[in-house]
Amino acid sequence: MEFFEYSNNELMCEGVRVKDIVSEVGSPAYIYSKKAFIDGYNEIKTAFQEADPLICFSVKSNSNLSVLSALANAGSGFDVVSGGELFRALKVGANPEKIVYAGVGKSSGEIKYALENNILMFNVESWAELQSINKIASQLDKKAQVAIRINPDVDAKTHSKTTTGKKENKFGIDMATAERIISESSKYANVAITGIHVHLGSPIHDTKPYEKGLEKVNQFLPKCKANGVDIKYLNIGGGYCISYTGKNEIRPKDYAAKTMGLIKKTGCKLIMEPGRFISGNAGIMVTKVIYKKQNDIGKKFVICDAGMNDLLRPALYDANHRIWPVSTHVQMPKVEGGGEKGCCGAKMLKKLIVEVALQEKKPIDFYNDLEVVDVVGPVCESSDVFAKDRPLPRVDENELLAIFSAGAYGFTMSSPYNSRPRPCEVLVDGSRFDVVRKRETYDDLIALENI
């Protein structure tokens, strides 16, 4: 989160006061640091430099054109999962030879679009899809390059809704079927199987699942060779974690240290598909407090102008995002207790008070400054909650709150549910900022409808 820091009681994004941005663009707003994306890209590239990886930024995590353009200029390729994402990548002038295309349900229209634009390869997720790619490639008189996405049945120990590498998940091809495909590959004249792809889920907080996945790949490669299938590319997917709490997490160099031997053993060119690691802590969402209320069991609610339609992760995955006022004299603790899911209550409040007091090196009566609240949105759903029983500095109506780590799967998963126009997106670069996606209007909400 180092690109979002407090200075003189004000949250800054790079060289700009967040408060100043919001007073110009309004609330709620997504605010991104350009440098954070580029730093994340460089960190992962450097960590794996021994394998000279092709980094394909996962567009689903943040698909804003200005973000994609900045990353393309830094040399990034792209991992896309739909014709729409491919369209976005091509729009910013991405090199098609650095685009890989995953997803279990590529339509024939999407396959045709990708072939016509000469992308590097498809990550194929079923036998039926392979046949479809072969047929469309033959109609276009092309040879499609593909990687077989294997499902190695490895538990990445992520949230059940973001696990992809177990047998019961819809993703990838089980090892036995993958072997059969390889042994019959010569039947597909318009397809060249040149890669193996494996993506286990996200976020993965341990190197072990990657090691297990790579071991399975290394067991599989000799079978490809025996069938005359020359595998040149190894795509190890994404899933690299970030810190949502301020607590230290493993970093790309740690994943690299544990996996480089297994990667080199494959003898393949490495492709990686990081999303969250590059975009997660490159963005925040700012929301304004509309009302506060307390009920007769003493529960306090801070009601904001952003809702689950703007940032879905807490409602969908019980995800914990740190929240702190944009302008406050109370220092945000370096680490928030409670872990991935957050938590709280009085115990946590006490812990937080001690931490803040220690950091500020003064004995403080923070009971006056902090209160335990539920931070909620205006959407008509009980799951429209950003944080439950969370100790926060006392805030009043019209004050701004920053919801951290919102750069990945924030705006991209937003919707206009409850007919709420979606927030604007702002990109900060040093001491300047630009609105890189306008706030939606009521007219935008109905623009495609006929009466």
CA-to-CA separations, 260 to 47, 118, 225, 242, 263, in angstroms, rounded: 10, 30, 22, 20, 5
What is the C-alpha to C-alpha distance for residues 164 and 199, in angstroms, rounded to an integer? 7
Nearest to 3 by CA among 17, 13, 11: 13
State the residue for tokens 């603790």. Answer: 333
**Shortest reach from residue 183's CB to ligand LLP, in Å:** 25
**Shortest reach from residue 310's CB to ligand LLP, in Å:** 14
Verify whether residue 380 is a known catalytic residue: yes
Which distant-in-sequence residues (6+ apart) come within 8 Å of 324 by Cβ?
Answer: 11, 332, 392, 393, 401, 402, 404
User: Which is closer to ligand LLP, CB of 23 or CB of 46?
Assistant: 46
User: Which is closer to ligand LLP, CB of 172 or CB of 393?
Assistant: 172
User: Which is closer to ligand LLP, CB of 30 or CB of 433?
Assistant: 30
**Shortest reach from residue 240's CB to ligand LLP, in Å:** 6
What is the C-alpha to C-alpha distance for residues 232 and 112, in angstroms, rounded to an integer? 24
**Shortest reach from residue 166's CB to ligand LLP, in Å:** 14
Beta pairing partners, 373: 390
User: Quick check: 285 and 28 in contact, CB under 8 A?
Assistant: yes
Beta pairing partners, 289: 304
The number of CA neighbours under 13 Å toward the Cβ of 158 is: 27
Residues that bind ligand LLP (CB under 6 A): 58, 61, 79, 102, 162, 164, 199, 202-203, 237-240, 273-277, 313, 408-409
What is the C-alpha to C-alpha distance for residues 277 and 279, in angstroms, rounded to an integer? 6
Catalytic residue among 224, 241, 344, 380: 380
**Shortest reach from residue 436's CB to ligand LLP, in Å:** 20
As to burial, measured by CB atoms within 10 angstroms (0-12 exposed, 13-18 middle, 19+ buried), residue 187 is exposed
**Shortest reach from residue 444's CB to ligand LLP, in Å:** 24
User: Which is closer to ligand LLP, CB of 66 or CB of 82?
Assistant: 82
User: Which is closer to ligand LLP, CB of 113 or CB of 409?
Assistant: 409
What is the C-alpha to C-alpha distance for residues 323 and 349, in angstroms, rounded to an integer? 14
Whether the upstream peptide bond of residue 53 has omega within 30° of 0, thus cis, is no
User: Which is closer to ligand LLP, CB of 240 or CB of 433?
Assistant: 240
User: Which is closer to ligand LLP, CB of 276 or CB of 288?
Assistant: 276
Question: Chain-centre distance of CA 207, in angstroms?
Answer: 18
Which distant-in-sequence residues (6+ apart) come within 8 Å of 123 by Cβ?
Answer: 100, 101, 102, 103, 146, 147, 149, 195, 197, 235
Nearest to 325 by CA among 223, 412, 403: 403
What is the C-alpha to C-alpha distance for residues 387 and 384, in angstroms, rounded to an integer? 9
**Shortest reach from residue 313's CB to ligand LLP, in Å:** 5
Known catalytic residues are: 380
